Amino acid sequence: MERQARIAAKVEHAREVEGILQWLGWSVAVLGVIGVAVFAVLWALGDLNVEQALSLILGTCLATVLSGATAYGSGVNVGLGAERLEIAAGAAPSHQPEGTTQT
């Protein structure tokens, strides 16, 4: 029974981590959109020239897409791993010493 409890605890922890990583992925996307908006406003106000503005906006977009997708994808992967572990644990026979019965 101890083995099943350890596996259940690991699956639950993995599901918590999945949620955190997916939340982080969406947070990065929101911060990236805010950053692009700020740079666009600075460009419109004349504080940035065209080259600076485009460089900052493109760099922010690329960093946002890569970071957000990585965090979100990692969360999905952790969740899938938790599902596989739970399925494998349910299908695996319990290891008991011979001559004992399970209660």
Provide DSSP, 34-92.
HHHHHHHHHHHHTSS-HHHHHHHHHHHHHHHHHHHHHHHHHHHHHHHHHHHHHHHHHHS
pLDDT, greater one: 99 or 25: 25
Quick: pLDDT tens for 27-65.
999 999 999 999 999 999 999 999 999 999 999 999 999
pLDDT at position 103: 52
pLDDT digits (tens, 9 = 90+) for 61-78: 999 999 999 999 999 999
Task: Name the pLDDT band for 93 (thresholds 50, 70, 90).
Answer: low
pTM score above 0.75 = no
Residue 98 has pLDDT above 60, yes or no: no
